[in-house]
Amino acid sequence: MLLEHLLPVDGPSSRLLYLWLFSKGTRWENHEKPSWDSPFGKGGLKQWLEQNQALSYHAKQIKCLNWFLDREKTIGASDAESYFENILPLEIHILERKQEDGLDVQQELARLREIRDGKLVKEIPPDLLPDKPRGKM
């Protein structure tokens, strides 16, 4: 399916795109995951491809991933672990695609990987977390 090519699936972060049904947002409310919506809008995939035909393959992936990331950020994260599972892998995925498209993103990519690998909670943007974190961080 073409959508799978535009929203790449590789490695453990593939769960981001296909397996989740609901997300707990910053206000601890259930939100439908953005994967139920579509980055292609009302015109559908055919119109989207026509409108974006000048973009490279990776640029199309980046555009779709950015769409998905924007929706995840709107939902927010219920806690630090939710950020590390739902938002950070998308940010890393986008930078990896940009790098494959020839952009110099190595420094930011290394920074985000360090945050991921060290689970650096203090580096999570505060506006993505609830005002009063619950549980142990």
Mean pLDDT of 19-23: 41
**Residue 101: per-residue pLDDT:** 87
Q: What are the structure tokens assigned to 137, written together? A: 């961080």
Tokens of 119: 């689970």
Spatial contact of 101 and 62, defined as CB atoms under 8 Å apart: yes
Burial string for 19-39 (b: 16+ CB within 10 Å, else e) reads eeeebbbbeeeebebbbeeeb
pLDDT, tens digit, 9 for 90 and up, residues 66-76: 998 998 898 88
